[in-house]
Amino acid sequence: MMKRTGFFKKHRVGFLLGSYLTFCLLSISISTKTLILRPKEIALSVFSLFQAGVGSVQRLFSETIDSVRTLKNLKQDYEQALERLRYYEKVEKQYAALEEEIRQLKEILQFSHSIPYESIPAQVIGKDPQNYYTTLTINKGSLHGIQKNMPVIAVQGGKQGLVGKVLHTGFNASIVQPIYDPTSYVAARLSLSRYEGLVSGSTEEKVYMYYVKRFARMNIQSGELIVTSGLNSIFPPGIPIGVLKAIHAREYDTSLLLELDPIIDFGRLEYVYVLKMQRGNP
């Protein structure tokens, strides 16, 4: 009994359709007077039902095909729109980069007219990230008049700052030693209090000012600008180096150790100026 009930439920639609078809056939075959079976009418009814079913299937199939085609077209339109969006985003980034480069070039042009020394503009083309950019490579060399020990400066955000000096020269390129190199030494001076010392890098990737008199502690404070002093140095006086960040004073030391925040952000350095100066010139 359970099997029969399950079979009926499984084929319920078929039974209902068959019952409806039988009812239709009987209805069109019943006369108002007598029950007469008309073969032509029965055949026509069956054919019309079959034709209606075929038509429904055809419409369903056609609508399905149209839906698939529409979905495919929508997918293609979406992919094309997405591709155009990526292209416009790329163009926008390139435009922003071009605007920034133009801004930098304008800044360089304006700054070059304000430098009181003859200078050679150059672009940074190489760094050594393994050693905190221990050296910088620029795209100008002896062919352009660059010589060893020439000072190198830069401008960022409208502010001039010391980069370092030329360490080696090639025909079309040069190596620059930055101020944060531990073997670099620059004669420097606190711009307000006028105390002097030597600026050098460290293995801690920081820049310090050494040999500042201990009694200067009462007269200096964070934020004071430190510039080149020009004393017995290849660097002209007055070039900004950095801003005083912290003062370190140990009991057994006879001098102060000043930590600097360099004017130039070397991580963003792209263009520099090499000053054509002879040692001892102002």
Task: Please give the chain's pLDDT, 282 residues, in tens.
Answer: 544 555 555 555 555 555 655 655 555 555 444 445 556 555 555 556 555 555 566 666 677 777 777 887 787 878 888 888 888 888 878 777 777 677 766 666 666 666 778 889 999 998 866 665 578 999 999 999 999 999 999 988 888 999 999 999 999 999 999 999 999 999 999 999 999 999 999 887 789 999 999 888 889 989 999 999 988 789 999 999 999 999 998 777 889 999 999 999 998 898 999 998 754 443
Ranges of beta strands (E only) in 202-238 are: 207-213, 225-228
Alpha-carbon gap, residue 121 to 275, rounded angstroms: 9
From the number of C-beta atoms within 10 Å of its C-beta (0-12, 13-18, 19+), residue 175 rates as: middle
The rounded distance, in Å, linking the Cα atoms of 248 and 257 is 5
Between CA 203 and CA 176, with CA 236 as vertex, the angle to 5 degrees is: 40
Two structure tokens written together for 217: 């502690």
Beta carbons of 151 and 174 less than 8 angstroms apart: no
Asked if residue 138 lies in contact with residue 123, where contact means CB atoms within 8 angstroms, the answer is yes
Q: Which CATH class is domain 119-275?
A: mainly beta
Residue 131 tokens read as 């050693």
- 151-156 and 136-138 strand pairing: unpaired
Distance CA 130, CA 268 (A): 17
- Tell me which H or E stretch contains 196: strand 196-201
Instruction: Report residue 125 as tokens.
Output: 């083309």
In this structure, are residues 244 and 226 in contact, taking their beta carbons and an 8 Å threshold?
A: yes
Closest residue by Cα to residue 206 from 191, 228, 184:
184
* Helices 12-29 + 2-10 axis angle, to 10: 70
Q: Is the dihedral of CA 113, 115, 116, 122 positive or negative?
A: negative
CA distances from 132 to 70, 110, 263 (A): 57, 30, 17
Q: What is the pLDDT of residue 231?
A: 87
